[in-house]
Amino acid sequence: MKVLVTGGAGYIGSMVCIELLNEGHDVFIVDNFSNSEMGTITKIMGITGKMVQYANVDITDRTALEVIFRSYQFDSVIHLAGKKSVSESIENPLQYYYDNLIGTVMLVQLMQQYDVQSIIFSSSATVYHPASICPIQETATLKSSSPYGRTKLAIENFFRELTAAHSNFSVVLLRYFNPIGAHSSGEMGEKPLEVPNNLLPYLMDAVSGKRPILEVFGNDYDTVDGSGVRDFIHVEDLAKGHIKALYYSMQNTGCEAFNLGSGTGYSVLQLIDTFAKVNEIDVPYHIGLRREGDIPVSFADISKAQRFLGWRPNKTLEEMCIDAWRWQLKLLKEQHVEAQIVFPSKKTV
Ligand code: UDP
């Protein structure tokens, strides 16, 4: 198949491209490189030994995007391009609605115009009501608490209405839980060019001395140790879910949502402990206040994805931590930064 991957140079997009290429598909990447690097494309080709076509195009640039649609007949689109910071979305909702919503609408206009009827959309667990019962099923009430989350929800609603009106259209909504880890080759992983948003980049910054310490946002939740609980999923497992979704989309029309998580909840302190143990390194942290807007516990029911996509995650929390740190060390070397271990460590970096 020939697949257009928007945001294909990003953390998740690049892993999706590797999986697509490994499965023998042709990949065309569209990325504006606002939070990714062109070097990632070279790495994708290096890891897979396959050629990738790409264009430095913003999906809101309809004219540039149309040139691509006119030149290639895609079988499907995997749509990951968009902005993804909750805090930034509160400061700049206009940008979030413009990039995420308008970008998606333009993409779908072109898909219709050029007769592409399948799309896999990167949604998020943030679309679920904060008070959802865990494990969260896809049928749970949808209500997001940030502009970022509401752009995802608005796009989901748009796709539901679109498929109701156009019965030959196929949309798979993938609701990601908390992707972490890096490619098992050690060659690729998360490299946020903007301020990081998530726990693991902060944890690794604290371990490598880029930040003095990791702040754990609260230890007074009603959880196993008081810290927040999340569903961490290895990014490679997550990427494989996209391939399964692509095959599902080829066989089915309509709009269907699937959770992609590990199905297990681990606390922030359990993650820190595992990371320290498997990498034989100390993680400097202190307990801070709860972060506004955080929910105590979130983990997925993944039985729908198992049943209908035939997908199941394989990697353990230990593997996620090992791969993440291996990649971080490589990155530090690439950046010629000597890792400064601020707390006594068992292993010299
Ligand atoms: N977290 C933390 N310190 C940080 C960043 C995150 O303790 O510097 C906690 C956060 O409160 C939550 C968990 O880690 O319980 C996952 O946070 P993240 O922002 O990665 O994902 P989300 O909250 O969107 O699921």
Q: How far is 130 from 115, CA to CA, in rounded Å?
A: 38
- DSSP conformation letters of 299-319: -B--HHIIIII-------HHH
Task: Give 337's pLDDT tier (boundaries 50, 70, 90).
Answer: low
Give residue 342's pLDDT: 46
β-pair partners for 171: 119, 255
- Copy the structure tokens of residue 246: 């692509």
Decide whether any atom of ligand 1 lies within 6 Å of the 178 Cβ: yes
Contacts of 307 (CB under 8 A, 6+ apart): none
Taking the C-alpha atoms of residue 256 and residue 262, their distance in angstroms, rounded to an integer, is 19
67: Cα separation from own chain's centroid = 27
Q: Work out the average pLDDT over 143-159.
A: 97
The SS3 of residue 88 is helix
Q: Is residue 215 in contact with ligand 1, taking CB distance under 6 Å? A: yes
Q: What is the C-alpha to C-alpha distance for residues 191 and 11, in angstroms, rounded to an integer?
A: 7
The domains of the chain, with CATH numbers, are: 2-181+232-260 (3.40.50.720), 199-230+264-297+315-348 (3.90.25.10)
Whole-number Å distance, alpha carbon 172 to ligand 1 midpoint, is: 27
Q: Where are the alpha helices (DSSP H) in 72-182?
A: 86-91, 93-96, 103-113, 147-165
Give tens-digit pLDDT for 22-50. Answer: 999 999 999 999 999 999 999 999 999 99
- Ligand 1 closest atom vs CA 271: 14
**Active-site residue flag, 148:** yes
List the Cα angle 21/22/27 in 5-degree steps. 5
21 ligand 1 Cβ < 6 A: no
Cβ–ligand 1 distance for 270 under 6 Å, the answer: no
Bridge-partner residues for 77, per DSSP? 4, 119
Candidates 88, 291, 295, 320: which one to mutate for ligand 1, based on the most atoms within 8 Å of Cβ? 291
Integer Cα distance of 145 and 142 in angstroms: 10
Ligand 1 atom with the shortest distance to the CA of 125: 25
Percent of the chain with pLDDT over 90: 90
Q: Is the pLDDT of residue 193 over 90?
A: no
The two structure tokens encoding residue 27: 């990949």
2 and 72 Cβ atoms separated by less than 8 Å: yes
pLDDT at 332: 86
Ligand 1 closest atom vs CA 290: 11
User: CA-CA distance, 272 to 19, in Å (whole number)?
Assistant: 29
Local structure of 324: helix, strand or coil: helix
Cβ contact 42:64 at 8 Å: no
The Cα 64–Cα 66 span in angstroms is 5
